[in-house]
């Protein structure tokens, strides 16, 4: 490839334009009221990187701004972007660490600008140091991200770090760092930088969009009051559990639970107490669940447990344990103490089919049998 094809002035103009556009994109995405905090860190970091690049690129500025402050601003911006990534991954980056990253980017260029002037050394350091910061961002994304979602931003951080590292190597090997008009390495690195910036910007936005989509998916499948699955979530996940048990030849048990005299609890104590009873029951039932079992609020005060690999006898034991625990629990709310009981119906695929809603219908009939028999008991279907 001819070096003339990679005209550095044109590539630098492209890099500046892409930097401004990707920064504008991140800033715009962070301006929504409900935007997550990591987007604001990313946007602020990119703005600072743009300011730092402008300071280091305008040689007519005072040497302190051009050769020292500009590098510190870039490092501060990258540190904020790194903080945003860690916030996205449910962690953080302390302000002390951000200060260390920034001060280091001020001291070493300051030394090679004011104390022992060396443009070559300053450019080598900036290439290696900023490459390292981008690779740290890549490590955070790789360790905590979902690969199919984070691969775009991960590729961008790796590519940008590689381009900056190669630029640092080039400066290290060439005596005159300004004599790079025919350098293929400089041309390729300058071309790679805007491509990497596009990957990073779109990749970061994709990560946030995926997080929102997952949150909406979970909310659409969960009961807002108790955190249990709702009927839609039960239908989706229950079919999967039933099919898995059928293929493995395991038993599938269903336990229906209904709070006794729930209307009286609402009438006597108020709906907030009734809501707390339902939340209390949901927490109690979750204790009985294994990771692959399901719990759903089937409607009103009725809950359902779907137990994979549990036969009829074991399901009866679980139901009786749950019934006894409910009977002895006390719900505390706003100075009031409320006791309640529940009626339970137990069915199993050993006696019925693996069809989930047939099992639920049979379990519902068994549960009403327990109510007719006097409530606060377990009935088998």
CA distance 76 to 100: 10
Q: Which of 38, 214, 235, 301 is catalytic?
A: 301
Residue 58 has pLDDT above 60, yes or no: yes
Residue 8 has pLDDT above 80, yes or no: no
pLDDT tens, position by position, 290-330: 888 999 999 889 999 999 999 999 999 999 999 999 999 99
pLDDT tens, position by position, 14-44: 777 888 888 888 888 888 767 888 989 999 9
CA proximity to 193, closest of 330, 49, 358:
49
pLDDT tens, position by position, 181-240: 446 666 677 778 888 888 898 889 888 888 888 888 777 888 889 989 998 888 888 888
Q: From the centroid of its chain, how far is CA 36?
A: 11
pLDDT tens, position by position, 74-121: 999 999 999 999 999 888 999 999 999 999 999 999 999 999 999 889
User: What's the whole-number mean pLDDT along residues 144-149?
Assistant: 80
Helix (H/G/I), strand (E/B), else coil: 378: strand
Residue 7 has pLDDT above 90, yes or no: no
Residue 180 has pLDDT above 50, yes or no: no
Active site residue 59: no
Q: β-pairing, 378-380 with 342-348?
A: parallel
The label of the residue with tokens 């139901």 reads 319
Q: Which helix (H) or strand (E) holds 159?
A: helix 147-173
Ordered structural domains, the chain, with CATH: 8-219 (1.20.1070), 231-380 (3.30.70.270)
């Amino acid at each position: 490839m001819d070096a003339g094809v990679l005209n550095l002035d044109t590539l630098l103009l492209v890099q500046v334009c892409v930097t401004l556009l990707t920064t504008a994109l991140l800033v715009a995405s962070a301006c929504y009221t409900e935007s997550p905090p990591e987007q604001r860190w990313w946007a602020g970091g990119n703005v600072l990187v743009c300011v730092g690049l402008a300071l280091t690129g305008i040689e007519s500025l005072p040497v302190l701004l051009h050769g020292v402050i500009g590098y510190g601003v870039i490092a501060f911006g990258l540190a904020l972007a790194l903080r945003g990534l860690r916030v996205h991954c449910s962690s953080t980056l302390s302000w002390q660490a951000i200060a260390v990253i920034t001060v280091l980017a001020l001291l070493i260029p300051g030394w090679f600008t004011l104390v022992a002037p060396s443009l070559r050394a300053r450019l080598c350091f900036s290439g290696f140091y900023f490459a390292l910061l981008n690779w740290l961002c890549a490590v955070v994304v790789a360790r905590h991200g979902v690969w199919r979602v984070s691969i775009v931003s991960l590729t961008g951080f790796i590519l940008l770090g590689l381009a900056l590292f190669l630029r640092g190597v080039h400066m290290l090997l060439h005596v005159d760092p300004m004599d790079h008009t025919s350098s293929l390495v400089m041309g390729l690195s300058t071309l790679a930088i805007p491509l990497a910036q596009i990957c990073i910007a779109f990749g970061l936005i994709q990560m946030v969009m995926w997080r929102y989509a997952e949150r909406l998916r979970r909310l659409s499948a969960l009961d807002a009051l108790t955190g249990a699955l709702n009927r839609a979530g039960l239908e989706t996940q229950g079919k999967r559990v039933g099919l898995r048990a059928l293929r493995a030849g395991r038993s599938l048990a269903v336990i229906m639970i209904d709070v006794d005299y729930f209307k009286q609890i609402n009438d006597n104590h108020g709906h907030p107490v009734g809501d707390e009873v339902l939340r209390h029951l949901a927490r109690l039932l979750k204790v009985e669940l294994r990771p692959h079992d399901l719990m759903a609020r089937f409607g009103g005060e009725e809950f359902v447990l779907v137990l994979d690999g549990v036969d009829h006898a074991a399901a009866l034991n679980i139901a009786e344990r749950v019934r006894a625990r409910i009977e002895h629990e006390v719900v505390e709310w706003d100075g009031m103490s409320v006791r309640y009981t529940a009626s339970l119906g137990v069915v199993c695929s050993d006696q019925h089919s693996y069809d989930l809603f047939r099992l639920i219908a049979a379990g519902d009939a068994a549960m009403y049998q327990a109510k007719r028999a006097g409530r606060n008991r377990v009935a088998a279907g």
